[in-house]
C-alpha cells in the first residue's frame, strides 16, 4: 500500500480525517530482551515466566510460539507444549529501562506519544519534528532507530486513527510495517471477522452471529438505531468501527489510574495465611511508587483484590482522609480491608492483590471522604 500523503496544516490540531497515527508494537518484547542479553538463547524457544504450578507465561519468543506457547497460558501447559524451552523469570526493571530507551526515540519525532504498556505506544505524527514527508517515512525511521540502538525489532501500523493503526501494526508481525490510507479503509475492513474489532469478545461475537453478522461488511449494513437498541452504547461503537471511525486523540501524559501488585499462591490459602502476603505486595507497590515518577503519597485510594478457590473475585477499597504516606501505612490499610471481607472463615483464596488508585496532584483537595 502507498504512503499516507502529507497533512494539510490548517490549525494546531489537524482534522480527524487528516491525522496520521503510528502504532508501534515491540515484537515479543520481554522474550526478545532476554534473547538479546543472552546470545546463546537466540534462535531457541524462550518463555518468560516464573516456574510453578500456578504461574502464567508473561511472554514467549516466536520460536516458542511455533509450539503453541502463548502469553497468559499456564506455565505448566507451556512446559508440556515445549519441554525444551528455556524458562526465565521476568526482569521488569530491565524491561522498563529498555522501554524508556524506546520512548526517548519516539519523542525525537513527536511529543504526542501515548504509551499503552512497556512495549507499545500510539504516536500522532501529523506534524513530525524532523519534517519527514510521510507518516510511513517516520515509522520506517523509528523502527530503524529502535533496531540500531536496542537490537530489538518493532512492528508498526500507520493509519488515520488509533483503531486502524493498531490493527495495522499486527498485520505483518513480526518486524513488519503496514499502512492503511483513508481511501482504503472500507475495502480493508470489509472482509475482517467482527472479532477483530476492539471490544468484541466471545459473547458479543455470538450475539452478532445470531443476527447473521460475521464480517465487518455484514455489520456495516445494520443501521445505528438497530445496533444501539440491541447492544446499547456498544452498538454505537460497533457502528463507528465498522466504518473505520475512531475520533480518540493520542493523549500523552495521561494521569496514572492505578498501580498494583498481585500474586497467585502455590496452593489455596486461608484468610490468616493471606495476611503476610499483603505486606509483601504492599512493599512491591510502594517501591514502584517511590521510584517511578514522584507520585509517592499521591494515590488516595487503597484497593484489595482477592480471588477465591472458586474463582470468585472480591475487591475492597478505602480512601482515607489523607493518602498513605509510607509502605507500613499502605500495608496496614490493606490488612484492614482484608479484615472487612465478609466471607466464611473456611473460604480459601488462590490470589491476592494490593493496589493504589485515584492518583491526584498534591495540591488537590486533601479532605476526601472515606469510601467503602
Written as one string, the DSSP assignment of 237-292 is HHHHHHTT---PPP-TTPPP-EEEEEEEEEEEE-HHHHHHHHHHHHHHHHHHHHHH
Residues 6 or more apart in contact with residue 37 via CB below 8 angstroms: 94
Distance of CA 113 to the CA centre of its chain: 15
Note every long-range contact of 198-207, with CB atoms under 8 Å and residues 24 or more positions apart, other chains counting. 198/163, 198/166, 198/241, 199/234, 199/237, 199/238, 200/238, 204/231, 204/234, 207/231
Is 120 annotated as catalytic? yes
Strand (E) or helix (H) holding 15: none
Rounded to a whole number of angstroms, the distance between the first and last alpha carbons of the chain is: 54
Residue in this structure with the C-alpha cell 524491561, named with its chain if needed? 95
The strand order across the sheet containing 86-88 reads 59-60, 46-48, 86-88
- For the residues 31-56, what does the mean pLDDT come to? 90
Q: How far apart are alpha carbons 86 and 94 in whole angstroms? A: 18
pTM of the model: 0.70
Q: In terms of Cα–Cα distance, which of 302, 291, 310 is closest to 353? A: 302
Catalytic site residue from 34, 120, 205, 296: 120
- Tens digit of each residue's pLDDT (9 = 90 or more) over 104-137: 999 999 999 999 888 999 999 999 999 999 999 9
Domains and CATH numbers, the chain: 17-28+93-185 (3.30.70.270), 29-90 (3.40.1170.60), 190-242 (1.10.150.20), 258-359 (3.30.1490.100)
Give residue-wise pLDDT tens across range 233-264: 899 999 999 999 999 999 886 655 678 888 88
Amino acid at each position: 500500500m502507498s504512503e499516507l500523503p502529507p497533512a494539510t496544516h490548517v490549525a494546531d490540531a489537524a482534522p480527524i480525517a487528516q491525522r496520521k497515527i503510528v502504532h508501534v508494537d515491540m515484537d515479543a518484547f520481554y522474550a526478545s530482551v532476554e534473547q538479546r542479553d543472552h546470545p546463546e538463547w537466540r534462535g531457541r524457544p524462550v518463555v518468560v515466566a516464573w516456574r510453578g504450578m500456578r504461574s502464567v507465561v508473561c511472554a514467549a519468543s516466536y520460536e516458542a510460539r511455533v509450539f503453541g506457547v502463548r502469553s497468559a497460558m499456564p506455565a505448566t501447559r507451556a512446559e508440556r507444549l515445549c519441554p525444551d524451552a528455556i524458562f526465565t523469570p521476568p526482569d521488569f526493571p530491565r524491561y522498563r529501562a529498555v522501554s524508556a530507551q524506546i520512548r526517548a526515540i519516539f519523542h525525537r519525532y513527536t511529543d504526542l506519544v501515548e504509551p499503552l504498556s512497556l512495549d507499545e505506544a500510539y504516536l500522532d505524527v501529523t506534524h513530525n519534528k524532523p519534517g519527514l514527508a510521510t507518516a510511513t517515512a517516520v515509522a520506517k525511521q523509528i523502527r530503524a532507530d529502535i533496531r540500531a540502538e536496542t537490537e530489538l525489532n518493532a512492528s508498526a501500523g500507520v493509519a488515520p486513527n488509533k483503531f486502524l493503526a493498531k490493527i495495522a501494526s499486527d498485520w505483518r508481525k513480526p518486524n513488519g510495517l503496514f499502512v492503511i490510507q483513508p481511501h482504503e479503509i472500507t475495502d480493508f475492513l470489509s472482509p475482517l471477522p467482527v472479532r477483530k474489532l476492539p471490544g468484541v469478545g466471545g459473547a458479543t461475537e455470538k450475539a452478532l452471529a445470531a443476527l447473521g453478522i460475521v464480517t465487518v461488511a455484514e455489520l456495516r449494513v445494520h443501521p445505528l438505531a438497530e445496533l444501539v437498541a440491541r447492544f446499547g452504547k456498544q452498538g454505537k461503537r460497533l457502528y463507528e468501527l465498522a466504518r473505520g471511525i475512531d475520533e480518540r486523540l493520542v493523549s500523552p501524559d495521561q494521569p496514572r489510574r492505578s498501580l498494583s501488585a498481585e500474586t497467585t499462591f502455590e496452593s489455596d490459602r486461608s484468610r490468616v495465611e493471606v495476611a503476610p502476603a499483603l505486606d509483601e505486595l504492599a512493599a512491591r507497590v510502594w517501591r514502584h511508587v517511590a521510584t517511578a515518577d514522584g507520585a509517592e503519597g499521591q494515590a488516595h485510594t487503597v484497593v484489595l483484590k482477592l480471588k477465591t478457590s472458586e474463582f470468585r473475585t472480591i475487591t475492597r477499597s478505602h480512601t482515607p482522609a489523607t493518602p498513605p504516606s509510607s509502605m507500613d501505612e499502605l500495608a496496614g490499610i490493606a490488612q484492614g480491608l482484608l479484615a472487612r471481607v465478609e466471607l466464611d472463615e473456611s473460604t480459601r483464596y488462590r490470589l491476592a492483590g494490593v493496589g493504589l488508585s485515584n492518583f491526584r496532584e498534591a495540591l488537590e483537595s486533601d479532605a476526601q471522604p472515606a469510601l467503602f
